Chain A
Amino acid sequence: MSSVENTVSKPHPGKALVAGRRSRLRPPNWRGSVAVVGFFLLWEILVRAQVSGFAQIPSPVTVVKVLFTSYLLDPGYWESWLTSFQRVLYGFVLAQLLGIPLGLLLGTRKTFNYLFYPVIELLRPIPPLAWVPLSILFWPTAELSIVFITFIGAFFIIVINVHDAVRHINKEHLWLAQSLGASRGQIFRRIIVPSVIPSIAVGMTLGIAVTWNVVIAAEMIAADSGLGRLTWEGYVSHTGPVVIIGMISIGIAGYLSTLVVDWVEKRMMPWKTR
């Protein structure tokens, strides 16, 4: 009779399973590289051929030249990076620190929910950039107002995600924890919090993208520093290469932040195998 055991599944030791995660690295994609080279080539050609619309746009070669001669070694350029990163970091982290507990409270406390949820629903549809003028009027420094707007960008997203996750917790998990003797506090810490971690991760992924959008726009409107400002100044002073350098820098910065957030999320959810 016992010969049938384990027909259910291949016997596999758990340790090996956990360790044997598939690597993220993909084999190099030569078609992709050809396309990228083609893109820059086409751009260069269009600029050189002076196709209409491209009159004020610098060629990639010019951009690279300017980048190497006057930016990569310029501490001012790197300061712009640092400034923008700091704003994103403060706004984003603050949004998580306040938003996650708020979402949990909204989901678990009825009275709290009745009191505060309407206010949140009222403010949530307002796009973060609509807060710019008010924010400048309210906060004593431009720096604070930009961090605040950045915060708004990620805050409502994380609140709504966490709140929604608490409402949709698997009730059988809650029941089981009760059956097995968990107290209310234990259920909160050991069941509710881990249940919403995947939604926190979603909120963070969405939030970091919005945060970069918001910080760049806010810098163009209201700041005298940062990558957004750099790009905008390039436009105002008719220096095409700077505009492109700014755009590329922002793209890279956003990408790096996403990598960091992904890394954090993986640490938060060791049980997700992929």
Chain B
Amino acid sequence: MTAKIRSIASAAGHEAQLDLAPRPAHGKLTITEVGKIYDPQGAAVVAVSDCSMDIAAGDFLAIVGPSGCGKSTLVNIIAGFDNLSSGEILLDDAPLATTEQAPRPGSDRVVVFQNGALFPWKSVLDNVMYGPLVQEVMTHREAKRKALDLLRRCGGLDRVAEAYPAQLSSGMQRRVEIVRALMNDPKVLLLDEPFRAMDTVSKTTMHEHLLEMYHVCRKTIVFITHDLEEAIFLADRVVVMTSRPGTIKTTLDVTLPRPRTAALLASEDFRALKAKLSAAVHEEAKRAFERGEREQA
């Protein structure tokens, strides 16, 4: 892993290092009493309510919760795709989203979506170069060099730089998407169940790639998932959301050391954390299920 980390580090323009990169200066997210009501005049679906969390710059936060509990809604609000109905979100102490302020997406918060959103009509390379080119912060040549470099170090993806997304496996597509996000050097990386549709083996590879990336170019990461093991394995902190309306039920601090490797999955500490998280989540799932039955009746 060490050689690999060094090479990613130099590609991203960081000092080669074996320790976890220091906290970045930017990327502190403060989410205060955020609520979201869809269609307030009509059906008034309360998707998220009274949701507060503080995410320090460079933290890796995972959010787990039953399907439909408002996880994507929260991500979309942070990303600026949707407005919030109450509360506020600050990025580095500056207002990012408030009830007065219209949503405003920006390249400081890039999302990797659950179904994948590479532009199918662009080659891998063009997808990755899209951000810097459209913002005109790099010349074509600079963008190409950086893109190929990042692609190469994320598992040799530069070999498929000229291919179209549809020609890649879903695992490769997802890695390209993460590289595309990283190209913009975002303060916050929002990953909305990026590995949802993947088999366990591919997932493990993806986790390694993601952790290596995090280890070197550390950024604030909000990672949404259904998979409890995934959440614990990757994150510093796991937040459990309740079923609709989504609020925060519990927060679990993951004190496992970094760099993390697959060997960790078998450790006693890991299993203890998983048991704790499972208990919290299953209680919530059961409540959601019972409430669903009541609504049906």
B38 touches A (CB below 8 Å):
no
Chain A residues positioned under 8 Å from B122 (CB to CB) = 194, 271
Inter-subunit contact A181/B117 (CB<8 Å): no
Inter-subunit contact B201/A175 (CB<8 Å): no
A83 touches B (CB below 8 Å):
no
Complex CA–CA separation, A8 to B156 (angstroms): 12
B130 touches A (CB below 8 Å):
yes
Given A1-B1, A4-B204, A9:B168 Cβ within 8 A: yes
Smallest beta-carbon distance B129→chain A, Å: 10
Inter-subunit contact B205/A4 (CB<8 Å): yes
Inter-subunit contact A181/B163 (CB<8 Å): no
Question: Which one, A170, A180, A182, A273, contacts B164 given CB within 8 A?
Answer: A273
Inter-subunit contact A172/B113 (CB<8 Å): yes
Inter-subunit contact B107/A181 (CB<8 Å): yes
Inter-subunit contact B163/A8 (CB<8 Å): no
Smallest beta-carbon distance B262→chain A, Å: 8
What is the size category of the interface that chain B forms with chain A?
35 or more
Question: Which one, B135, B161, B205, B206, contacts A14 given CB within 8 A?
Answer: B161
Chain A residues positioned under 8 Å from B159 (CB to CB) = 11-14
Interface residues of B in 195-213 (CB under 8 A from A): 201-202, 204-206, 208-209
Inter-subunit contact A180/B184 (CB<8 Å): yes
Chain B residues positioned under 8 Å from A173 (CB to CB) = 117, 119
A191 touches B (CB below 8 Å):
yes
Inter-subunit contact A181/B134 (CB<8 Å): yes
A98 touches B (CB below 8 Å):
no
Smallest beta-carbon distance B73→chain A, Å: 13
Question: Which one, B119, B121, B131, B205, contacts A5 given CB within 8 A?
Answer: B205
* Most A-side CB within 10 Å, residue of B106, B109, B119, B262: B119
Complex CA–CA separation, A190 to B134 (angstroms): 10
Smallest CB gap from B199: residue in A: A8
B296 touches A (CB below 8 Å):
no
Inter-subunit contact A179/B113 (CB<8 Å): no
Complex CA–CA separation, A22 to B67 (angstroms): 41
Question: Which one, A7, A170, A186, contacts B202 given CB within 8 A?
Answer: A7
Given A1-B208, A1-B261, A4-B204, A176:B117 Cβ within 8 A: yes
Smallest beta-carbon distance A9→chain B, Å: 3
The digit string for A14-35, where 1 denotes a CB below 8 A from any CB of B, is 1101100000000000000000
The digit string for A164-186, where 1 denotes a CB below 8 A from any CB of B, is 00000010110111111111001
Chain A residues positioned under 8 Å from B201 (CB to CB) = 7
A269 touches B (CB below 8 Å):
yes
A-B contact pairs, 10 of them (CB 8 A): A5-B209, A6-B155, A8-B169, A14-B160, A173-B117, A179-B79, A179-B105, A180-B110, A195-B121, A271-B123
**Top 8 closest pairs, chain A to chain B, by CB:** A14-B163, A8-B171, A9-B169, A180-B131, A181-B135, A14-B162, A172-B117, A194-B121
